[in-house]
Chains A and B, each alone.
Chain A
């Protein structure tokens, strides 16, 4: 069974700090990796996606992918209270499937 693991948290960081969210996956052939943010009572929305090893930056967000170690992470620089949410990692498996498997999410709390 293909699994995506995340620490449920909560991860608590002070405003202005770097928040580091991690995700590991079991399917070595996984193709695509996504980070979604979900505010309480709302639907998930895409923050970033990454397909290749290395770093991808978008504003205050950086996604890091290491396929050899089977992990993907999300760094949030200069964390703001508005970043407080649950962050879901999603992985598209190998074998041609386009259906992602979601992790259980990590709850992030940014306190002033």
Chain B
């Protein structure tokens, strides 16, 4: 069974478009995350979300917004896509404790033309 899944795996779109990436986890975890991994492989946290709070990395443009319909899902909406948004986006989940492992989805490679 897939623990953390993301769709789509690849996303190619034009500048200015709005797109969404979906994420689902079946691990029963309390917390989900979105990470961006750039071309230099640097993995940077974008959002952390559980049923109590949303933590936003202040460097993330407000064109990015997480939406969680329920505990098992955290989708990422991106408005007015820019060239610099091209990257691999990973969803992850964990329990809320600091000692807990993060489980990553397979990633979505976003290319903005």
Contacts and interface: CB of A to CB of B under 8 A. Distances in A.
Interface residues on A, range: 20 to 34
A100 B55 CA distance: 13
Contacts of A32: 98-99
Interface residues on B, range: 20 to 34
Interface in A94-112: 96-102, 104-105
Interface centre among B45, B97, B102, B106 (most CB of A within 10 A): B102
A86 B41 contact: yes
Contact of B42 (A42, A90, A100, A104): A104
Interface of B: 31, 33, 40-45, 48, 55, 90, 94, 96-107
Interface of A: 31-32, 34, 38, 42-46, 49, 51, 86, 88, 90, 92, 96-102, 104-105
7 contacts: A43-B105, A44-B102, A96-B98, A97-B98, A98-B48, A99-B55, A100-B45
